[in-house]
Structure 1
Amino acid sequence: MPKLTVITIVYNNVRDIERTIKSVLNQTYRKIEYIIIDGKSTDGTMEVIEKYKNRISKIVSEPDKGIYDAMNKGLALATGDYILFMNSGDEIYDEQTVQNVFDSSPGADIYYGETEMYNDNWESLGRRRHEAPEEFDWKSFKFGMNVSHQAIYIRRSITVPYDLKYKYSSDIDWIIKAAKKSSNIVNVHRYVAKYLVGGMSKKKHRESLKERFQIFSKYYGLLPNILNHIIIAGNLAFYFLKHRRTND
């Protein structure tokens, strides 16, 4: 039974933090280390966290230099065999999810699955537009981020700290680096996470897209990345046209 470290990053999210905490603590899988990194919240978030302090492995509440700085603090404290980031507002899919992930295949470097999207009223929007690929490797992001951060379990020994020069898309860089070191990546063929839409990368969409373009160019080359983005634009146009017809 491998040990899983789940890391939750939160700042002033008293409305959603309890849902996230419960989704971790209610797992049937018992070998979980839970770390919460709070950015010195002032809205009552810490009072909610304190209710569960006896069941949370480590709690840090202090100012940080942004989300990836906070994630690096969590990584530095982690002792598990695998890492999962489940940020405030998101949930592990159901109570058996972690058990099902590790039961799917022993000893993988990376496990990944599907993500269900939820709106601000916690109503399901269905599966992400980018469906998780049947097979995944470090080149799989060339047509977009098709595995979400909340839906990927990575062996801690192949992770590195997040690159803080990226403010909105460092998670893509982080996953690609780990995938390049992986020899065994397993698709668990199930939903593993519920994701609250509208995070930082959505609020700063243009900046996030610029960073993604830089990251993809670094790994895939500038010219192939430009060609891939033409395909992405075409796929996006087809997706919206198809769904507009469906809605009409």
Structure 2
Amino acid sequence: MKKIISIIIATYNAEKTLKRCLNSIVSQKKDQLELLIIDGCSTDRTMDIVREFAESIDVIVSEVDKGIYDAWNKGIRLATGEWIMFLGADDYLLEGAMNVYWNYLKKHTLDGIDIITAQSKLIDAKGKYKRVFGNPYNIKEFRCYMKISHGSTLHNRKLFDELGNFDISFKICADYEFLLRKKLNARYIETPTIAMQVGGVSNTIRGLWESFKVKCYHKSIPHSLNVYYLIKGIIGYYMRKMKVIN
């Protein structure tokens, strides 16, 4: 049966956080929700945890892949939902999150809408709340920064038919590159729907550099401004590191 929302989770050695993630989804799962696990041949207990939840998971794949975006591309091909969501294995749905999405989808006419963004609560590795993240989509702002909360975003399946898959040559910012391919028709839910753990590779020097390359590729902003944001980001990164050390 065709679903309304598909949640795709790419995993690789995610035993420390995956159970928390899956519990948050299974407790809110309805017939209209499809859950896909695309694993990259984990060598820890990830697949043991997946098997514990097998009755609630619609699609399970475990095979060698070329990174998270390769896994997401596989998930897109297997998903049947009208809307697709990519949730990190170290993130989780907040209580009542799916009702937020169901109610929004029921109450609004969404013909021609590409994405529906929401907010996320940022947490540290110990689960401590940091702040809320996720702005409404604004093309001028988006060309400079990835300001939307991608983990809490619903993507219209038709968007992938139109724009193709994620470019796996980008290892950190392929989601940003994908969404820069057109001016999106977006809606916004001003409510946090997921908890997202900070400290991923997108917040590293490698992440800053790849974001810089993505903006160069799309010529989304003037090169001088792009260089300025890169330098600003690097300085900010090292200042945060020094603050942690001190």
Task: Describe the SS at the equivalent of 2:202.
Answer: helix
Any conservation in 1 of the 2:115–2:186 contact (CA below 8 Å)?
yes
Aligned amino acid, residue 115 of structure 1: S
Task: Describe the SS at the equivalent of 1:132.
Answer: coil
Partner of 1:132: 135
Task: Describe the SS at the equivalent of 1:195.
Answer: strand
Superposed counterparts of 1:79-90, under 5 Å: 79-90=80-91
Count of matched residue positions in the alignment of Structure 1 and Structure 2: 230
Provide runs of 4+ in structure 1 moved above 3 Å.
Answer: 137-140, 228-238
Partner of 2:46: 45
Partner of 1:210: 209
Partner of 1:230: 228
Any conservation in 2 of the 1:169–1:212 contact (CA below 8 Å)?
yes
CA deviations 1:132-154 (Å, max 9, x no partner) are: 13xx2444322311012202111
RMSD of equivalent CA atoms: 2.8
Any conservation in 1 of the 2:144–2:220 contact (CA below 8 Å)?
no
Q: CA deviation at 1:106?
A: 3.0
Q: CA deviation at 1:117?
A: 0.5
Any conservation in 2 of the 1:82–1:156 contact (CA below 8 Å)?
yes
Partner of 2:189: 188
Gaps of 5+ in 1: 242-248
How many percent identity over aligned positions? Answer: 28
Q: CA deviation at 1:25?
A: 1.8
Any conservation in 2 of the 1:27–1:98 contact (CA below 8 Å)?
no
Aligned amino acid, residue 51 of structure 1: E
Paired with 1:201 and 1:94, the residues of 2 have a C-alpha distance of 26
Superposed counterparts of 1:1-248, under 5 Å: 3-27=4-28, 30-95=31-96, 96-103=99-106, 105-107=108-110, 108-128=113-133, 131-133=134-136, 136-159=137-160, 160-177=164-181, 180=182, 182=184, 184-202=185-203, 205-221=204-220, 224-227=222-225, 230=228
CA deviations 1:171-222 (Å, max 9, x no partner) are: 1012223xx264x4111111122101122333xx222212211211233456
Gaps of 5+ in 2: 240-246
CA deviations 1:100-137 (Å, max 9, x no partner) are: 44245232321001111011111111213xx413xx24
Any conservation in 2 of the 1:112–1:151 contact (CA below 8 Å)?
yes
